[in-house]
Structure 1
Amino acid sequence: MMRTLIVDDEPLARARLRRLLQAADDIQVIGEAGDAAEARQMMEREPDLVFLDIGMPGEDGITLAHQLRAASLPPAIVFTTAHADRALAASETAPAGYLLKPVESEALLAAIRRAVQPNRCQHAPRQGLTVRLGREEVLLTADHLVAALAEDKSTHLYFLDPADGTRRREAWLDSSLNELESTFDGHLLRIHRNSLVNPSHVHSLTHDGGQHHCHLRHLEMPLAISRRAWREVRQRIGRDALH
């Protein structure tokens, strides 16, 4: 059973979501919260999944999501919002999905299915990758990764320095892209047969001359998106990121 928390300042929205969740298998609603402060108090109940409203008075859902992801056992997060244009800002917290209000049953069940796989990764805080930089060994988690590119017979990895979280660094790995996908299952997005990206670092998608490109924070060059991958990329990143 996925222990589930509903966070929304609107009582009617919470009631609708709770009613829809009753039809979902393996979901146990363990509580409701009307604001971020109340939600933080309920985190001691250790939810596996949080349905989180973005636009709440005071502290909004995006701010709260950043705090929840810093926990040792972070829950999967599905944002609920009446404003589709908030999706790109919310993507920085790498949520499991988004639901537009009023929430519909089919979309809700699809979001739950998407949340299951990332949730297993989030509950494995030691999962990561050790890279060697000269004499230094650095342990990277999924949050540190920006992109991985297959070049010749190696993988060129771009990541943020775990010490400060802002300085970009690079390393060459013997691991293949498939192996990285397996290690960080659910956290990396394949945009091309030669490239993986971390969705939380994507700031926009563009279309130019028949080719789609992905633009990431901390990486100057745009990365090509294949036709085969485009549909999943658009679903995962959100339509509002397309320029």
Structure 2
Amino acid sequence: MNYLILDDEPIARRRLRRLMSEFDHFTCVAEAADGAEALQLCELNSPDLVFLDIAMPGIDGLEVAGQLREKMPECKIVFVTAFAEHALRAFDLLAEGYLVKPIDKERLVALLEHIYGEQMQRLQYQVGHDTRWVAVSEILVARSDERYTHIYFNGGEALIDIPLKKLMAAYPRHFVQVHRNTLVKKQAVLSLESVEGSHRVRLEGFADPITVSRRAAASFKTLF
């Protein structure tokens, strides 16, 4: 998802961009220091999300929001302000929320989760000494691997210490169980095949077919 920042304070823009850099599925496509520039950049880049400082010289954030609502109704708007009382007028313009400066990381995460729901849910894993995260929405396959769960996602794979049963219980709208040791992403399912008495499912973005148990195959047909 692409986002744009409108703020006339360079330090504030850098801080927000640094906080947002922790989310791999968000990309900053532009920064603007005034409202007129922000509107031009929005037209050029069509961002999914815009962070708008309210108090701006010239065209302020509220006016920018009003024009974006007309021109880009699908774009999500978050106001950034040093004055919480401005939020009341902000919600009149159907903003998705607001952040008070200096921006708190936990508040930012909570707001993004409120806006994007499951798209913001992430799982943690280790690569050497590095800690990384993957969005649940990107996971295509999860397989039980002794004490761990092996997950396959767009661009990689990893081991996590969350049992398969717990993973299914936590994200029932994302996964469907096709075998006692395998979950797959519902929205990635392309077809269910029958080959010599056994069943396999093919997924978009995953090369190998996945074995489906007889018990799962019966409910699988009903589900899809």
Structure 1 length-normalised TM: 0.46
Structure 2 length-normalised TM: 0.50
More relative contact order in 1 or in 2 (CA 8 Å, sep 6+)?
1
